Structure 1
Amino acid sequence: MIRLLLSAVIGFFVASVVLRVADLDAGWEWAFGVSLGVMVPLMILVSIGRTFAGARQARPQDVDAAVRENRVSLAKVLETRATGTSINDQPLCEIRLVVASRTRPAYTTTTRSIVNLGRLPGLQRGAVVVVAQLDAERPDVALLDPAPADWQDIADRDTHVRDLPEAPVWDAGPARGRDRRGLVRVPAVLFLVLALVGFGARVWPVRDEALALVQGTPLAEVQAEAAAAAGVGPATGDGEEPAPAVDLFSAAHTRPAIDDLVAVAGGSQFTEVGIYGDYIVAEGLTAPGEPTTDRYTWRGGEATRDGAAPIQPEPEDLPDELFDVTTVDWSLVEPLVAQVPELTGITAPGGPSVLVRRATDVAVATPVEFHLWVSDEYYDAYLTADATGTVVSMHGGRPGSPAEAWEAAHGG
């Protein structure tokens, strides 16, 4: 069914938007456009289906069956109302009728039908029309247009039905398996399940990054890890070997790289700086005084501006997120990184990741904090230090490590 397919496509589209905003859709950039291109026509089709749901048009076999089973009768028009929808310039109308049934007492019902414009004047209040009851157990009727010749003659000569008063409404409720609009009834939970299936199908290729985000890993770290896994690096374009990797954890290299980023940004106000061994990913003001942020990268000896940051801070929150990178003691990165294996019991080949930002840990009394994250195949750990280089909190780590002991002692 189109509605079920639409639910899955919506889930896929929503996931595409989320990953696009988070800048985790490398290699899947097409998914956003394709899902949008499929979703819009499906939404249009579903909208059309909802609009015309319940419109009654009698098929030739329906008329034959109604004639055989004595379900063709005259009806008096009580009201004809245009719904505002049309197809091929023919309006969809709601017509309230008193049906002079031949098998039960007269009753009032409403039918929806696409009406030929030439027939519309003949459907004014008081007009007598020929209808077919589509189901002997239900009030639903369809206008016969054209009506069988003998029945049309009876309608033209009628005087009895034309004078019928409005009869009681026969309200039988929706047909089995359908809702009141006439659409096939589908459990709401099924729409939700299919939306989640579509969402999961899109997230699956980047499931590791998504899991890391759910577990609380900062977005900048996840983006950097994804870029490293994809082998993203500077392109020389001239066949030259890329510049040798620089250990940015070393005090001799950290501050000069930060200075390069400040020069490219044209200012020293940043919201975060992520150091990942041989490259840096940072976010800072687009220009001094601007309410927007850009992403900046230092790699292979060169600092570059990469464009708008994927997630823009709210203008009112921006002042509380900014800090001056020139006031940070970047020489503290090297000793902090050196402590990580001893404190966590984890030794990663590329070393930990270091994120510098405005303090978020309640134990940090300085305006800025160092947040370090490290993992191997089995364990991960998080450490937070203040701007003096003092480690104030630890989480995770291998069994028996100081980090695990600290977390146990402080209730997680």
Structure 2
Amino acid sequence: MLRLLLSAVIGFFVASVVLRVADLDAGWEWAFGVSLGVMVPLMVLVSIGRTFAGARSARPQDVEAALRENRVSLAKVLETRATGTTINDQPLCEIRLVVASRTRPAYTTTTRSVVNLGRLPGLQRGAVVVVAQLDAERPDVALLDPAPAGWQEIADRDTHVRDLPEAPVWEAGPARGRDRRGLIRIPAVLLLVLALVGFGARVWPVRDEALALVQGTPLEEVQAEAGAASGPVTDTETDAPVDLFAAANTRGAVDDLAAVAGGTQFTEVGIYGDYIVAEGLTAPGAPTTDRYTWRDGEAARDGAATIQPDPATLPDELFDVTAVDWSLVEPLVAQVPELTGITAPDGPSVLVRRATDPAVTTPVEFHLWLGDEYYDAFLTADATGTVVSMHGGRPGSPSEAWEAAHAG
């Protein structure tokens, strides 16, 4: 039963709201969204059911039984009123009728039916229609369309029913086990019990905290105890990102990349504070290169490098990462703000590659870059950690002065 399920879901949803407001739904944050997502469609379905409750339609077996028991008869339309509800663009109508019953005196009753738009003009006041009394002991009738054989001709020729005055209304209480709308009767106490069951099901995981609140413990204390009971925060939640410029971390991360690559020959290693992006041989001796990354404590192969090297010049681009003194990265990075006058919150980036700067006499160079909203600067150091060239920087900085002195 949809109404029973809806009651339980409403209870669950209300408890989710209360615990969400009280900040006691840790680990159950999903409960609010899920219960809301289930509750809304159920409410729509129950609303539709209530709207169409009491709409009468006769099944073939109902018509056969009514024919056998003389419960098929003519009725005069007194009023047809659209309820404002439609299904498949066909209106749900309330139709008040005088039923010329063949087993009792004529009576007035009202039926609800989904009416085909094409038939609506034939249900105006004074029209004669064929109906079936669904129960010999109750006034409920259903319009028969199409009518049983011969009955439509009887309705078309009729003059007696058409002239019938409005008859007394046959009042009857709800059918056994049904309410006045025709829905199955559900005791209100049962709906309340199910709502409490849903509420309790959601509160159960935090029953100790809920009980403490009921007993008068201040909410702040309950929240504090709940936080303590949840245990210490994991390292991944508290640890800051690894500083890869620090000498204690740089070499280890590069070694991780070499382990994933299966070799130590790389064309470049870019260090960006808390992650590294590098390009190295796909496999030892291969003429192709792959992209490798180190992030959040793990090294990974990302696939082929975007730009593949010329096999003829590849040997001149490769360097052995184990031959680089990676401890030089930290002091070089520490010098950059003073040399350039630039302080960026994310710090500089460092690119290690085969030397390209004419002032570098070692096989490998460190290329550093730093920028802010207005200025940027580029520094190059050799494999001993000595800065050999500088470009850019804020006005008055050593890097600007170096560039001016060396004619850009």
TM-score category of the 2 structures, normalised to the smaller one: 0.5 to 0.7
Supply the distance in 1 between the matched residues of 2:159 and 2:88 (Cα, whole angstroms). Answer: 35
In structure 1, the partner of 2:51 is 51
1:226 has 2:226 as partner: yes
In structure 2, the partner of 1:142 is 142
Supply the distance in 2 between the matched residues of 1:189 and 1:232 (Cα, whole angstroms). Answer: 44
Matched AA of 1:213: L
Matched AA of 2:171: D
In structure 2, the partner of 1:205 is 205
Supply the distance in 1 between the matched residues of 2:190 and 2:217 (Cα, whole angstroms). Answer: 32
Identity between Structure 1 and Structure 2 (%): 90
The one-character-per-residue Cα deviations of 1:87-142 (angstroms, maximum 9, x if unpaired) are: 00000000000000000000000000000000000000000000000000000000
The one-character-per-residue Cα deviations of 1:364-412 (angstroms, maximum 9, x if unpaired) are: xxxxxxxxxxxxxxxxxxxxxxxxxxxxxxxxxxxxxxxxxxxxxxxxx
1:164 has 2:164 as partner: yes
The one-character-per-residue Cα deviations of 1:316-373 (angstroms, maximum 9, x if unpaired) are: xxxxxxxxxxxxxxxxxxxxxxxxxxxxxxxxxxxxxxxxxxxxxxxxxxxxxxxxxx
Cα drift, residue 239 of structure 1: 7.5
Give SS of 1:91's match.
Answer: strand
Supply the distance in 1 between the matched residues of 2:87 and 2:113 (Cα, whole angstroms). Answer: 11
Matched AA of 2:3: R
In structure 1, the partner of 2:215 is 215
Deviating more after overlay: 72-81 vs 56-65: 56-65
1:105 has 2:105 as partner: yes
In 2 relative to 1, CA 161–186 (structure 1 residues): closer, same or farther, beyond 3 Å?
same
- For residue 238 of structure 2, the aligned residue among 214, 235, 239 is 235
Matched AA of 2:239: T
Count of residue pairs brought into register by the alignment: 240
In structure 2, the partner of 1:39 is 39
Give SS of 1:49's match.
Answer: helix
Supply the distance in 2 between the matched residues of 1:236 and 1:151 (Cα, whole angstroms). Answer: 85
Matched AA of 1:103: T
In structure 2, the partner of 1:121 is 121
Matched AA of 1:117: L
Supply the distance in 1 between the matched residues of 2:219 and 2:93 (Cα, whole angstroms). Answer: 54
In structure 1, the partner of 2:68 is 68
Cα drift, residue 236 of structure 1: 1.2
Supply the distance in 2 between the matched residues of 1:44 and 1:56 (Cα, whole angstroms). Answer: 21
Matched AA of 1:89: D
In structure 2, the partner of 1:90 is 90
**Pairing 1:9-408 to 2, within 5 Å after superposition:** 9-233=9-233, 235-238=238-241
In structure 2, the partner of 1:407 is none
Structure 1 unmatched runs, 5+: 241-412
Supply the distance in 1 between the matched residues of 2:11 and 2:70 (Cα, whole angstroms). Answer: 49
Supply the distance in 1 between the matched residues of 2:232 and 2:67 (Cα, whole angstroms). Answer: 74
Give SS of 1:118's match.
Answer: helix
Cα drift, residue 149 of structure 1: 2.9
The one-character-per-residue Cα deviations of 1:27-83 (angstroms, maximum 9, x if unpaired) are: 000000000000000000000000000000111111111111110000000000000
Supply the distance in 1 between the matched residues of 2:240 and 2:203 (Cα, whole angstroms). Answer: 33
Cα drift, residue 173 of structure 1: 1.2
Structure 2 unmatched runs, 5+: 244-408
Supply the distance in 1 between the matched residues of 2:232 and 2:225 (Cα, whole angstroms). Answer: 10
Matched AA of 1:169: V
Cα drift, residue 20 of structure 1: 0.4
Matched AA of 1:70: N
Supply the distance in 2 between the matched residues of 1:182 and 1:13 (Cα, whole angstroms). Answer: 29
Supply the distance in 2 between the matched residues of 1:229 and 1:142 (Cα, whole angstroms). Answer: 64
In structure 2, the partner of 1:5 is 5
Matched AA of 2:189: V
Deviating more after overlay: 130-139 vs 58-67: 58-67
Cα drift, residue 86 of structure 1: 0.5
In structure 1, the partner of 2:362 is none
The one-character-per-residue Cα deviations of 1:228-277 (angstroms, maximum 9, x if unpaired) are: 1112536114479xxxxxxxxxxxxxxxxxxxxxxxxxxxxxxxxxxxxx
Supply the distance in 1 between the matched residues of 2:113 and 2:33 (Cα, whole angstroms). Answer: 37
The one-character-per-residue Cα deviations of 1:183-233 (angstroms, maximum 9, x if unpaired) are: 111111001000000000000000000011111111111111111111253
Root-mean-square deviation (CA, aligned residues, Å) is 1.2
Supply the distance in 1 between the matched residues of 2:157 and 2:96 (Cα, whole angstroms). Answer: 22
TM-score, with length taken from structure 2: 0.58
Larger radius of gyration: 2
In structure 2, the partner of 1:353 is none
Supply the distance in 2 between the matched residues of 1:237 and 1:56 (Cα, whole angstroms). Answer: 69
TM-score, with length taken from structure 1: 0.57
Matched AA of 1:144: L
In 2 relative to 1, CA 216–239 (structure 1 residues): closer, same or farther, beyond 3 Å?
farther
Give SS of 1:37's match.
Answer: helix
